[in-house]
Chain A
């Protein structure tokens, strides 16, 4: 029954009684497990947590969380989440979306939730494909993607979720990947603790319709050369032997190998507060560069929900709690005898 702060919750407390219905081997399982795992750590109770989703494979997520949940309609989760968070600032509100849900049909709502800086935790599962409708290309699919709906290859240029979020000046932007449990937990915890809209792109393998989309990042042999793990205030070093790094040449980044006079001091140092650096990092992609994972940007600004609520509190402080009879009698009134 009731949970309270004194009782230490465990991962199990966040597991609902519903059977999980994703395809066996889907990356979504790992994400669900990591979210359930960090929940007890971030110190919110089950009853004060709400998961809101749109439509798509990822959007089944709320059914599996033993919290409050709302499975809304395609692309619109950020809108419903905004209404909930504004009117109930006491709740911890999470949005689960996908590349189609969040960046195609719901791109508009995602844009506005991020730029308003509503205090929502937005997890975008990016598998670069439409899963639930069985395999059409998505707005994050690479150019030329051959799918059921694009037998000759897709003709559209993909959207980069991180650049999108940077473009609307989101206050927290991060990227992680389904198979890296620990990294995911760290990033999710950071997102949970951020005050404001926290946007996390989670690279997720759809083993049925787009298997291996991130194989180079997850391959045991390759991944230390293909992942750039970001740490605030630390130089950007990667590689199996931690001997490679990112350096700035003029305005452009380049990959260098340490040694021969090049030291860690020559490398770019990550600064989560620097939007210009954020833009540069978000553009780094395989195969020329390692793929950055971690917090791309974290900065503080007033949240929309806090601003809206302080306006109400100010109005109440100034004019007192509204009185209906006074309201009815406001304006030009007259008496007929």
Chain B
């Protein structure tokens, strides 16, 4: 273990664990996100594999102590491979009664429960709708309960600084982090370093937070509170340079990397919407990469401006979430017929309507595939993990410019905010993004297609001799002039479909995790990747015939998919919707696939998928 503050008692026994899932929960003002992130950071330095999940309330400033103002951050850290933020909790740290009430159901029996005793007072209990204190009614007996005086001890630790009570209370989270850091043998240096950086302009806060952190750590070390501590050995991790990354940041830099590779400016037209706004925020700080970010007046102008920029020769992006997709639908149709490259990113959330904006769902797949008037097929690409958002965004750009088509990129609210360590690629290893603007007027027609890709030429306004007009009216197959000729319309509809089919040549052979044929195949797409992988791994370790494929391309589907499906007795499709991919697979391949559906605004637990697989293997 790394160095830690000097103890005065003989060292306590250390119990080894493979894997721990912990959640920090408190009021939105309690700094739980920072606490969780710093604990993650410490675990990274301890060499563990990690998966994290922030969970914040929809209300911006909910009244303190209320149930709907609870904010939480979950960390799964392990000496083994980690694919998810974890199912049930081994440990729960709560800063007030409301956090206890909303999170306790996820704590395992005999799990560690650390709470701030002083906060379990009459007013707070009432706000959390407890008739009686759970500390007194025996309802917590099945857990290892540690009522720690977090507030009092923090106050004590900082008393020489003579800070106002408000400032003292703001340090409670670091005290709690100190306690838990000791409990799990985490190095606190990364956190001290972070505090020093973060508060370098405010030495008082810097000092107070550091003191609180160390006091918490020393509490574990020097008192009889905990009989032992835990250690989680470093995992075997592929060597290289790592960075912890959220899906939204990965999406943003994926776009930037692709635009840079293409040597073109990046233009984002977007309207703020949860959970997509962080992509706008991230890109707005990257102007030196020739990135334009336009916060438009509405969703329609977000995509409209992006389409204008695409016409002008930029890599054009729009970002949104479910409801915004509906507003953009008409412009997506226009982009499809003018055949300009444009990436429409839907960071899905629970719907319909406003639904649960901060909660993820995969319920916009059919909308992405079919949600337009007229025949308007588009490529649809999905990301499967936070870091994978980078590659999915990059791939979306590559396909869009190669085939001259709008592309829909699907991520979701879980991928957006969850983070994972990412073995960083080098830009030299990324595929080329080739853009060649047409400049030769000889034999030019706006809709003259490339034979291989069926892409029409991309011409930047400003190119002499290639002046032309595009628009939403049906156009002639070659010249692009307005045409209402019946056979021409059918030809245009068919060629747009054929272009989609051409894209299959860009989809590598489908990776099958597990046997190439056999009893059971699990097919997923999007953010279910982690849970499915972890569940399938469990069965494979027992020698069971369970295979898994995870689709990156939802349209067109991989050319080898039909053949793969035919090689399995049973097919299971877990989705956070009512069975949308399931419907597509059944319709496309006439297979008797079955669905596992969860529509709770929460990712699948590994155990939920495991239970279903067990049943299917037994049947």
A: which residues have CB within 8 A of B? 1-4, 16, 18, 45-48, 50, 52, 55, 62-63, 65-73, 76, 78-88, 90-91, 108-109, 111-112, 308, 311-312, 314-316, 318-322, 324-325, 327-329, 331-337
Contact = CB atoms under 8 A, between A and B. Distances in A.
A331 B306 CA distance: 29
A332 B243 contact: yes
Interface of B: 41, 44-45, 47, 237-245, 253, 256-257, 260-261, 265, 267, 269, 286-292, 294, 296-298, 300-301, 304-309, 311-314, 316, 330-331, 334, 338, 424-427, 441, 460-473, 481-482
Contact of A318 (B288, B301, B311, B461): B288
B426 to A, nearest CB: 6
Given A83-B305, A308-B292, A335-B241, A315 B312 contact: no
30 contacts: A1-B464, A2-B441, A2-B464, A18-B482, A46-B467, A50-B311, A50-B461, A66-B467, A70-B308, A71-B472, A71-B473, A79-B304, A82-B294, A82-B308, A83-B306, A84-B308, A84-B309, A87-B314, A88-B461, A90-B462, A91-B461, A112-B296, A308-B292, A312-B287, A324-B261, A325-B426, A328-B424, A332-B244, A333-B241, A334-B45
Q: Which of B238, B289, B316 has the most CB of A within 10 A?
A: B289
B464 A333 contact: no
Given A86-B267, A108-B297, A327-B253, A48 B311 contact: no
Contacts of A78: 301
B308 A79 contact: yes
A85 B312 CA distance: 8
Contact of B289 (A50, A86, A327): A327
Contacts of B469: 16, 18, 62-63, 65, 68-71
B441 A86 contact: no
Given A69-B469, A334-B44, A80 B304 contact: yes
Nearest to A305: B292
Contacts of A84: 308-309, 311-312, 461
A96 to B, nearest CB: 12
Given A46-B464, A63-B482, 10 more contacts: A2-B441, A46-B467, A47-B467, A86-B294, A91-B462, A109-B304, A322-B290, A327-B253, A329-B424, A333-B243
A47 B461 contact: yes
A322 B286 contact: yes
Contact of B463 (A47, A85, A334, A336): A47
Nearest to B479: A17
Given A71-B470, A322-B288, A331 B243 contact: yes
Nearest to A50: B461
- Among A52, A332, A337, residue most surrounded by chain B Cβ atoms (within 10 Å): A332
Contact of A79 (B41, B300, B463): B300
Contact of B462 (A16, A48, A63): A48
A111 B311 CA distance: 23
B467 A79 contact: no
Contacts of B290: 312, 316, 321-322
A74 to B, nearest CB: 8
B191 to A, nearest CB: 12
A318 B285 CA distance: 13
B446 to A, nearest CB: 11
A112 B312 contact: no
Contacts of B473: 71
B308 A83 contact: yes
Nearest to B238: A336
B472 to A, nearest CB: 6
Contacts of B468: 68-69
